[in-house]
Copies of this chain bind each other. A is one copy, B any other.
Amino acid sequence: MSSGRATQELLDRLVEGARAAARAGRVADYIPALARARPEAVGAAITSVEGELLESGEARAGFTLQSVSKAIALPYVIDARGEEAVFSRVGKEPTGDPFNSIIRLEASSLKKPYNPMINAGAIVLSSLMPGSTGEERAAGFRGYAAALLGLPSLALDEEVYRSEAATANKNRSIAWFLKELGLVEGEVDEALDGYFRQCATLVDAASLSRCGACLALDGLEPGSAGGSGRRLMSERAARVTKALMCSCGLYDGSGAFCVEAGIPAKSGVGGGILASARGRAGIGSYGPALDPRGNSAAGLSIVEGLSRELGLFAL
């Protein structure tokens, strides 16, 4: 990154400027635990590949990963089970459908989820995680994620987890269809339970940015010498994940985001965005007020602004 001070000022300015976007957004309200988020909350952080962290606003406010977890589950399962185990059951192609659509499972000749960034793909991956219960699998996932986020451990938001499990009729429908297609390993209910737990993992923007920096180093731990040498994720898993974040990371707004920011990113309805600028830095943002596509309104504004001002457009 250019001078730390200039970047800090830029970050402060973008966080401040994003408050207007936040006011135009809406907090997810399909479960009470998410509906209680403060829509005006905005925070962001950058971790350089050297490991330097800059933060602004509510960069330490806790929120649940939700779909951001898909960008961590993917390298976790690739590293744990191998690429073949994953991509024999899930595709690599973007789909123009909503994240929770079931139509293509029936209509497409592919007979598997189009990619791991939609719910159907993520439920399959949940079933492939080491362990046989949702609880065991989610514990393993949290361990892998904690290393990427630079934390000793990660906690589960019990209330969010319970709410999601109680209202997940559509996801249950998807999961049983996946079982019919032979894509779920083990019990459907355990695959779902693991998925709900993974989505309910508590994080903050600061630690997300560290995960982004690891992706920016193709899986190495950020550190003083442009990569400490400690590998947290295989290089292949990092590249696969970033490629799929690029085409499928922001729901129905993935293409438009790629035009504006030109870097891989993944959003979640909890308000988080994780982004990665190759060889430069990772970005984490928080803002629970969502745009109509389900992406953090403030987060989009901040990440696009950082890409524009820091010249991160990678394509």
Contacts and interface: CB of A to CB of B under 8 A. Distances in A.
A91 to B, nearest CB: 7
A169 interface: yes
Contacts of A91: 255
Contacts of A259: 92, 239-240, 243-244
Give the one of A103, A170, A239, A243 with max B CB within 10 A: A243
A180 interface: yes
A102 B173 CA distance: 10
Interface in A35-82: none
Interface in A173-188: 173-177, 179-180, 188
Give the one of A243, A278, A315 with max B CB within 10 A: A315
Interface string A262-281: 11100000000000101000
Contacts of A175: 173
A95 interface: yes
Interface stretch (A106-114, A131-139, A143-151): A106-114
Give the one of A106, A188, A239 with max B CB within 10 A: A106
A258 interface: yes
A104 interface: yes
Contact of A262 (B94, B103, B177, B239): B239
Interface stretch (A157-165, A193-201, A246-254, A298-306): A246-254
Contacts of A253: 93
Interface residues on A, range: 35 or more
Contact of A255 (B176, B248, B255): B248
A179 B174 contact: no
A170 B263 CA distance: 36
Contacts of A244: 255, 258-259
Contacts of A95: 94-96
Interface of A: 91-97, 101-104, 106-108, 114-115, 169-170, 172-177, 179-180, 188, 239-240, 242-248, 252-256, 258-259, 262-264, 276, 278, 313-315
12 contacts: A92-B259, A94-B95, A94-B96, A94-B248, A96-B104, A172-B179, A173-B173, A243-B315, A247-B255, A247-B258, A278-B313, A314-B314
Given A96-B108, A169-B179, A244-B255, 5 more contacts: A94-B248, A96-B104, A102-B106, A170-B177, A173-B180
